[in-house]
Each structure stands twice: as structure tokens, then as C-alpha cells.
Structure 1
């Protein structure tokens, strides 16, 4: 139906309307006359509301508020349930040098803005724990969402390629001494934190009996489970299955501060002596500064750490080297000292290789004395050739030593 306002249409104006009616019949939008000489096109459908979009400026403001709250140690300045815990963790750990810069929405599927307006973005973060010699730097996946104040930070996460610092994941229980810092996931993990503090303190003492460590600063980070450990390491799921602990830089760089990252699902299943051996091994790596060292051959790197950890442990070889000796009984001794392929964490005989490397270092100490073993380790760590250094310290090279080690493995295997 065509309607008009004012007086009835006459003459040419009626003709115009009739033409429009005809055209409208084939699907072109129908014009309505609102007054004598004005025609408008009505909307044929409802316009949807604008889709939510990323809000970089508001996100940057939210990060600035969090950064200031951490600097002021003011948990009340941030809302939600996670951020007050983050501020509290920073206070417990003496965290300083915190900066947080919005980079961009994450390019993955999680980076898309959801219907509720939330999105995930990369945030360039720096921070330094009390006692660390340098700051850590990492791009952390950060979740943002609309809030009463505009936009709020609602969470942090890690994935295969992005690390997430433990202190950003939820409340921690912290224990600190002059030489040790322990951070355990969970607000009510006091007994567990006490246990790790004791283990870490003993580990420092164990290492100092063998190598100089004038100013120990051993830091243990203990997540809630293996999955969280993998997020902290920016690793794929399953990468740390069966790994008790790893000593590495906090941000994966060669210059970042070094901490010990614990897999609670593995260490939690060990008795006190087993857990102590693991942490003394990791403390040796920390004390000798080898978290990112690529000079030391794997058998010397890992074997020396086990030598230090097991030096004063009174256990039979059937316990400390049971896996490698069983393999020797079955297949004979290995053809060479264990290397990168053998120390693959996914290898079936992963544990046996550590035992084989430990027995190699133990044999060197028996052949030439502990100080010669320590000098070999130090010089090769500094870049010296292992064969040349071994001949100078022990009077034989790698090939001759390998044959000696193989013979001893057969003898120990019975």
C-alpha cells in the first residue's frame, strides 16, 4: 500500500507513484512519501550491533595499573581473584623491575575477540626475583576482558612457544633463606614448601663440599602439576613426562637468571633420599653455571652432577646403577659414552644413561682423584678440548678411558 501525508496526489506526482509501484513489484525497494516532495528508503532489515574488538589502549591501562600495584605492593588496587594473588606473590618473592607492555592480540585462535569481549594478547613482560643477578624477559599470553573500569587483566597462560612465570598463575607459598628461595603453587602448601626448603638447603651444602659456591642462590619453582610445568617451560604437552626437575634460565635466554623447575608428579613419588639426590644434582648445574652451556659433552655434564649428588650417599650399585647394569647383562656395555641421542628425555632408557654417565665420572675420580675430575669439568666447561684435558689430568684420552669404562661396567654387572 502506498500512503501519503498532506493532500491527495495529483497529476504527474501520481504518475511517479504508479511507476514506483510497478518497479517495486519486481523487487526494488518501495519508496514511501513522507511529505509532498521528500522520499526516503526504509531499512529492510535490522542492523546487527557492532562486533566486539580488541582494545589495545584500555589493555595498556590495565597493565599499567597492575604494574603500579606490584610496585606499591598494593593488592587492593587490583580486582578479581588472580591479580591480588599476583601482587602478593611479588611481595613474598621480592620481585622488582616489573614492566608490562601490550604487544598485540595473539595470532592463534585464542587471540580472536570472543562474543563477551575478551581476548588474548602477547604482553612483553620483565621482572626480577630478589637475589637474581638479572631481569627475565618474556612475551606472556595475557587474557583481557571488559570490566567496570574499562578492561581488566583476567589471566595468564603458556603454550608451546610461550612461557608463563609461576608467580603469575595463582597464589604461592614461599620460603626464603639467605641461600635458598622456594616457591610452591598453592596458598596452603606450607608443609610442602618446608620440605623443599630443607631439600634445597641440603643440596647447597652437598655441592659446596665438592665445588666452590661462594654466594649460593638456589631457587626452586614448584608448580601444581606436570602440565603447569610444561606451560612454565613453553613446551608441548608430554615434553617433561618423567623428568624430575630441570635447571635452566627463567626466560629461555642465555643471559636470563637460572632457577630449578620441579616436576612435583615425579619428585612427589620419591622418598626423601631420592628427592635429595635429584635436587643436589640440579644444584650442581646451578652452582657451576651450565644451564646454557654447550661445551661440555653430555656424559661429563650429567655424570658430574650425579657424582656430586651421590658422593656421600651410601647405597649399593644395584640401587644407584641398576638400570644400566641390567642393560649390560642383557646386551653388553654401550659402544660409546652417552651423548645427545642417549640423553633424549623421550628415550626408553633415559634413566640408564644418567647412571652410565655417573659411573664414568665416578671411575675418573677413582683413577685420578676428585680434584682432577673437578679440573677436567671446569676446563672443558671453559672451552678446552675434553681429550687433551683428560690426557693432561689423568694420563689417558677418551678412547682409552671408554674401553676402561666398558670393562668396569661388565665387571660391576657381574
Structure 2
């Protein structure tokens, strides 16, 4: 699913929702200083702090830290040596005095990975500052409430570079990370064959040490993703400025899959990375998840009966769906079988388009839906202009297709 992401069978996919990450403007250390004096001073301090981190200037990095906080901050600084950073910025968004010569700064942290990110990944942070002898120092740095924790805050980072992938892991073996990198490397050309448009043709994968660690990276309880093998984070706003994606693996669910399942998950999630700039709030989840599954199954020997077991059981029991899945059908934490049927229904809707109208029409349909200025009317217009059909006829054709393939 991704943000969709792909769930345990899948992306995690089935694969997952899209988690929205706020995006800063520039990566570097020259964010525009706020006008208010305390905010400006905080920004100047954090600019120097960021510059020292990027330059691997440990004395300069320490110069911004209160001695009480230095040991914890240095641990993160040293872990980041294994991460190929190409940018690191703080953009102060507000300050709150917390006492004499003390304040709390709210800031957006933005970072880029060298050779992989066109735009930064960002997360909201809260930094505690203290003033001593007329100078400000950092005494604490933590995620804002509900914001994601960073991988390097969870432990020592191991980095594995594939030919088309970068895998960063904590609390797992190098062998496992290499296996994931190999699957991601295979996924990229498979996705490119189905989606030949402009995309980076590489993928960044984060592998935390536990389900709880996965939840921290997503800013949500880990239990929400139990059974979900992987998730792709990103902002579904479309366009060339869409921020960088991360595929986040659930080591528990991913680990119990066989070779085919693992490849399916990584390919599904890579589709979300590739299609990010064309995926917008106008894109229904059935289309984004269904297309990702269609690409993942494309070229395999899996039959609809094998790939859509829950929907097959429903069809054979006389419970043919009356409509295409709606976004709410893809919510996690509810009925696992209903969730599976939603993913399977989306996949078979995309398979129907590819079979009847052709693969080129399927990708054109996806782009047309995402290019619409609003959700209302997006699918209807694309059905009419790209496929020369109506929502009612398409739904009827889809229901017939389910009966033919699964009955």
C-alpha cells in the first residue's frame, strides 16, 4: 500500500495507505531566517548545527550542543556516518518560551539521500534550547507529536547498496538487507516495463528491527501494521515536486513470506514510488493499489484464482460485489478478509482494463484520473475520454469479469 503501501501478501499488499509527509523547500543549510528575534536566533543556531553535521565537523557539531545533551546527540551523529546524506536542514516554524533563557522550537527537518532523492523527506521536530552567556545551545531534539521517528534514532544503521536500490536497516543482518536489495533491484526494471514514464528508477528501503520500529517510522502504533509486509510513504499530491518516497518493511510479516511473496511486495511498493508524481488526491485507492498489484503480478504465472482467493470465495458463494471498492474498504485494523477482497477487486479492475483496452490505455487511464483537478468526476471523465465507457457500464463489465475469472 503505499501511500500507499503493500500489505503482507502484497504493500505491503496488498499495500498501503499513503502517509502524508510535509515537505520543506530547499535542502541545504540556508533556510530563510524568520523575522522574530528568538525564531531568527534559533534558525541561525540550527543552520550552523546542520552545516556541521553535513560537513562531518564534529567540533562544530558539538559547539551547538549543551553538554548535558552532547552524548545522546553524538550517538545519532555517529550513526549518520553510515547514511549517504546529501542535504540536512531545519526550518523553524515557531518558538515557545519555556522559562528564563529557555525555549522550545518547532521545526521541519528535511534530508536527502545522495544519488536517490530529488526532493527531501521531512518530519516535524521539537527542539529544546537554552541560552548561556548570551549564546543558544540545543538541549533536546525529538519528533513532534504524531511525527515519525528517524531510522538512525532506533539504532546503528547498516547500509547496503544495490544496483538500483539503497537499503538502510537497524537491528537486522546484512544478509537480510542484501536479499531485500536484490529483490528491489529486480523490481525496478519490472516496474519500468509497465510504467515507462519519468521516474527515478531506483528505490530506497528502510528496514527497522521490529514491528514497533516500523510504527515509529510511520508515526503510528506498530500494531496498526501487523500483517502488513511493507508500506510506501509519500505525499499524493502529484507533479515533479512530489517528495521522496520510502519503502518501509515490516520485518515480522515480510520475514514469513516465501520468495515469490517477497518479490511481489517489493515490486508492488516500487510501483508506488514510480507512480508517485501521477498519483494525486483525485486517484481512488482501488486504482493506485490495483495498478500496483497488476504490475506486481504481470509476467508471473499466478492465475486470478490463486491471486484473489478471498474474492473467489465470495463470488462462488454468490456474493458478487455490487460496486468497485471505495477508499474506506482499504482501512487497516478491520476485517482482514474484506481488506483482501478490496485489494483483489482493485487488481482485477485494472486487469480488466489491460485485457480489454490494452496496457497503454491502462497507464493513460491512471494518468488521466490523477490529472483531474478534484476527486469528484475524475474516474468518470477518464472512463469516458480514455476508455469510451461509463461508470455504470464499467462496473457491470467488472462484475462480469469477476464471474468469468473467479466463478
Give TM-score, length-normalised by structure 1: 0.71
User: 1:196 corresponds to which residue?
Assistant: 180
Distance of 2:278 and 2:224 partners within structure 1: 18
Q: Which has the higher contact order (CA 8 A, sep 6+)?
A: 2
- Aligned-CA RMSD value: 3.8
Task: State whether residues 170 and 209 of structure 2, in contact with CA within 8 Å, keep that contact through their aligned partners in structure 1.
Answer: yes
User: 1:72 corresponds to which residue?
Assistant: 55
1:330 Cα shift? Answer: 2.9
Task: State whether residues 127 and 141 of structure 2, in contact with CA within 8 Å, keep that contact through their aligned partners in structure 1.
Answer: yes
Distance of 2:163 and 2:197 partners within structure 1: 13
User: 1:128 corresponds to which residue?
Assistant: 112
User: 1:168 corresponds to which residue?
Assistant: 153
- Structure 2 residue matching 1:99: 3-state secondary structure: strand
User: 2:341 corresponds to which residue?
Assistant: 352
Distance of 1:329 and 1:234 partners within structure 2: 40
- Structure 2 residue matching 1:406: 3-state secondary structure: helix
Deviations 1:199-220 (A, max 9, x none): 1111111101111145323111
Deviations 1:142-172 (A, max 9, x none): 5899xxxx97757645653x22222333321
User: 1:183 corresponds to which residue?
Assistant: 168
1:284-303 correspondence to structure 2 within 5 Å: 284-289=271-276, 293-303=280-290
Q: Which runs of 5+ in 2 are unaligned?
A: 1-38, 63-69, 131-135
Q: 1:235 to 1:252 in 2, by over 3 A?
A: farther
Deviations 1:321-341 (A, max 9, x none): 111111222351111001112
Q: 1:169 to 1:69 in 2, by over 3 A?
A: farther
- Structure 1 residue matching 2:177: 3-state secondary structure: helix
Task: State whether residues 141 and 158 of structure 1, in contact with CA within 8 Å, keep that contact through their aligned partners in structure 2.
Answer: yes
1:55-66 correspondence to structure 2 within 5 Å: none
| Alignment counterpart, residue 258 of structure 1, candidates 226, 245, 256 | 245
Distance of 1:367 and 1:126 partners within structure 2: 44
Give TM-score, length-normalised by structure 2: 0.72
Task: State whether residues 54 and 85 of structure 2, in contact with CA within 8 Å, keep that contact through their aligned partners in structure 1.
Answer: no
1:362 Cα shift? Answer: 0.8
Aligned residues: 349
Task: State whether residues 70 and 90 of structure 1, in contact with CA within 8 Å, keep that contact through their aligned partners in structure 2.
Answer: no
Which segment drifts farther, 208-217 or 245-254?
245-254
1:97 matched to 2:84: no
Rg bigger for which structure? 1
Q: 1:230 to 1:121 in 2, by over 3 A?
A: farther
Q: Which runs of 5+ in 1 are unaligned?
A: 1-55, 113-118
